[in-house]
Structure 1
């Protein structure tokens, strides 16, 4: 269990410096001096400084086994971006994320696997310490304590969701499948694997406990409030197929008024500003705390600024958009552009995306209101409320495209239309194509101008329904250190 122990130690060390970290992290949090460790949980203000330090690690770069910081393990963004590359809509050149695109970056000793296990557990350990210290505080008044605890419970559930998505089968495929260990408090005592059902039950418990404790107020959009917790819960219920509960949570998250949380005019502004009315939850940064070139997807997909120039767009995906859709179109001022006038249309580099604009101070979206609107639409359709689903869906479509026409689809055809709309709306943001394929037991066949085959004859990059490559294997470092997990955990994976 060296990984867990190491992360607990790192979490405790980080708490010591969290007061000063919070000063550096957000413009919304402005302490003037570092906070001694014995005073961190003396008041709501200092505890919020501790939380700001935890949130700063959403975009922290992690080191590999050799102690070298790697470009493709830059916090939460890198997990989302790796998922985006595994499907049909994005094409990656053979760059930092090339193996993720090829769907072969999953062995127990690989950097992707180790990071995707260690990073969420690192964050969970920090949150567990935060929860423990807030509970133990005799200085924080009860109402403030409850709201702080609500933030902690919601964050813990969020990171457990990332773990179970990556390392286990889908909830609707096998609820008894092994899942990562559940830790409810800081500990140096290792645990064995849990099950998918146990993790989802735990997340629901955390989130339904958190929501009544939280208010709509918060220090800034990087912090969790009642809306954010409901949004995470909507994602969890969506995977579980509990559609009435997913619908209710999604509506609580976006407020039920579609047009009030959308801004079509700002859609082409580069997805780099946390202040956008469309962002429910985001991760801001300042130039002096930049992610530099490991900020994904900005530094990889923006071909107009200095960066890696490694992400391209499938021609089939580009064709889904009308010329009047603010999310589509081809040209220098549109969301897609041609890489070069000399490339043939069959070349994988033919189209690039202008959606994300890269600077050293670009912010990163985590959850946008549009995702909640589309969860609401899907949940209504799954429950047979075709009229309600079409009304919600059309409100978003009309905002994006003045020439949009309300769908005449019903049943599965309407659901399929909503799933395509999710891909169009959330392209490159959070791996939505992968997320939907995994939760629904669908494959992701590749077409268009993709790089279709791997280096070995007959080996394709496609993912089939329930493909084992939807899962990462448990890291060897965890197996070696945890007496309750052995090599058999990866049997059949």
Structure 2
């Protein structure tokens, strides 16, 4: 992260550069999130180091709040939204209100809602900046092979950003990808140039085709070398390819990509698992994430200000995050993932102040730096995901034997008493999926998994408060609310865009 600090002014220029095209072409300057006039556009692309600084700034924007809403803190905020929509992240009280409208499935049905706009704004701003790097990067002057490598890396990361952001957008605002069909349903506009001319929505199939093309471009430019785990390298891009292939039902590619991606990343020990998920660089399992350095903290806007158990914020004192009690009951006490959840809510090991509300099944998976420091490392990708993608993809390819080799290796790390998978067929796939649920609790996967699997929402019989969820306990898999509405600001700026049905 040191490049972010050193070149902060140059890195943040990317948004300012893009604003020039936005305001002229379609007045969609609502997407402008972090303007600065600190340096000129020419300076931004005058050297390899400045180009790298723009990429570092984009990675910084993955965790940095770019507007006045403290609940919209980059990728971490969207991760919370994606899990708040599901059944496994439980809000035991409304607290001071953050993300409660998301829990109640109210954001995505209101085209004027701030949380309906935010993912659209966030990802397209990153895409715009990626397009600027892709356009201008080849013309950056270099004087030696080292600088050529820096430019190649920056452009490769820009392609990875563009793929990742289109992937998130099409999952949130488009209809689900249906394997073995033409997928002509509406996705999102594919933006490949930094100009912001009005565009129609591309089909879901077209968006995924572009995502895969960009991942291939990124792989052709990236190696295993990177400045920190906050950046993309070839293994992270392979991990993204595994995610995308699983979503598309391309199980052979999902399995092979996941296996390649996790090479060199070992599963963490049980002791590390219970230490607070706060050591990106030191944890051998973490493939990609964010470390928030002290002088760039967002205090009450950090991921840890909502998801940790120990930070002294109103939200955590009043509404600590809990695990679905039915999910918790599926796993034995020998499984390390149950040890970060307290069925009593007391968390005696943390010596929480008396002002902290106590609710059953609250989690201490995430621990902030201290009671007065909300920083914690934000996990975007871990090797555990690659194990579970590979196991699921092999199982769906009717290769249970090899699937169980991978799955048992993973499970025996998380639960030393696990004797091996004895389920078969659909029951075995369900076992894998339930392990995805508990493994990635709080990491932003659940809504997207439910949509990918064409499953409905079912919060019944667990520890959800009917008051908190506003009686939204079930949602059919055919409900229109699985697609966020296109934000009204985009519709006003882009006359070619078509709205999702209510």
What secondary structure sits across from 1:378 in the alignment?
Answer: helix
In the TM superposition, what is the alpha-carbon distance from 1:300 to its structure 2 partner? 2.1
What secondary structure sits across from 1:338 in the alignment?
Answer: coil
TM-score (norm 1): 0.86
1:284-326 deviation per Cα after TM superposition (whole angstroms, max 9, x unaligned): 1112111212223x32233333021222222212212211211
Label 1:9 to 1:427 Cα distance change in 2 as closer, same or farther (>3 A): closer
8 A contact 1:454–1:460 mirrored in 2: no
The question of 1:471 aligning with 2:471 is answered no
Label 1:48 to 1:261 Cα distance change in 2 as closer, same or farther (>3 A): farther
The question of 1:249 aligning with 2:257 is answered yes
In the TM superposition, what is the alpha-carbon distance from 1:194 to its structure 2 partner? 1.1
What secondary structure sits across from 2:184 in the alignment?
Answer: coil
8 A contact 1:316–1:448 mirrored in 2: yes
Q: Give the Cα separation in 1 of the matches to 2:419 and 2:400.
A: 16
Counterpart of 2:425 in structure 1 is 411
In the TM superposition, what is the alpha-carbon distance from 1:105 to its structure 2 partner? 1.5
Q: Give the Cα separation in 2 of the matches to 1:37 and 1:182.
A: 25
What secondary structure sits across from 1:221 in the alignment?
Answer: coil
1:114-152 deviation per Cα after TM superposition (whole angstroms, max 9, x unaligned): 111111111111111111120222337655433322111
In the TM superposition, what is the alpha-carbon distance from 1:39 to its structure 2 partner? 3.8
What RMSD in Å do the two structures reach over aligned CA positions?
2.4
Label 1:145 to 1:137 Cα distance change in 2 as closer, same or farther (>3 A): same
Label 1:9 to 1:89 Cα distance change in 2 as closer, same or farther (>3 A): closer
In the TM superposition, what is the alpha-carbon distance from 1:452 to its structure 2 partner? 3.8
Counterpart of 2:71 in structure 1 is 72
1:345-386 deviation per Cα after TM superposition (whole angstroms, max 9, x unaligned): xx9932210100123332211111100111011111011110
TM-score (norm 2): 0.84
Q: Give the Cα separation in 1 of the matches to 2:150 and 2:66.
A: 32
Out of 390, 393, 396, the residue aligned to residue 407 of structure 2 is: 393
Label 1:145 to 1:300 Cα distance change in 2 as closer, same or farther (>3 A): closer
In the TM superposition, what is the alpha-carbon distance from 1:6 to its structure 2 partner? 1.9
Q: Give the Cα separation in 2 of the matches to 1:134 and 1:186.
A: 13
1:215-274 deviation per Cα after TM superposition (whole angstroms, max 9, x unaligned): 00000001100001111111111110000011111111101x77x343332101111221
Gaps of 5+ in 2: 1-21, 348-356
Out of 301, 310, 324, the residue aligned to residue 314 of structure 1 is: 324
8 A contact 1:176–1:196 mirrored in 2: yes
In the TM superposition, what is the alpha-carbon distance from 1:449 to its structure 2 partner? 1.8
Gaps of 5+ in 1: 18-34, 64-68, 342-346
Counterpart of 2:396 in structure 1 is 382
Q: Give the Cα separation in 2 of the matches to 1:139 and 1:190.
A: 35
What secondary structure sits across from 2:362 in the alignment?
Answer: strand
8 A contact 1:8–1:125 mirrored in 2: no
